[in-house]
Amino acid sequence: MADLKLPKLPDRTSVKLTITMSPGLKSALDDYAAMYAESYDTREPISELIPAILMSFLDSDRAFQKARAARRGQAAPRASG
């Protein structure tokens, strides 16, 4: 077996999740989607933006990253930049 640098890809099976949100949050997401479209000259549905927004939030939460790594018995990832 070859010793490849690229590890085996993780499970990429999508999971559908239905949520309920306040009208204010829906309005904020609509505004974000509109600003995204203006910034990148491409319209994306909110359902496509939400996973990226959530991942960005989780990736930027250092306390969460540290606690998650500790729970899994791993070192917390270092912040870049």
CA 77/CA 68 separation, integer angstroms? 10
Residue 77: band (very low, low, confident or very high) from pLDDT cuts 50, 70, 90:
low
pLDDT at 3: 78
In this prediction the pTM is 0.72
Nearest to 64 by CA among 51, 47, 77: 77
- On whether the CB atoms of residues 46 and 29 are closer than 8 A, the answer is yes
As a whole number, the mean pLDDT across the chain is: 89
User: DSSP letters of 11-79?
Assistant: P-----------HHHHHHHHHHHHHHHHHHS----HHHHHHHHHHHHHHH-HHHHHHHHHHHT-PPPPP
CA 31/CA 77 separation, integer angstroms? 32
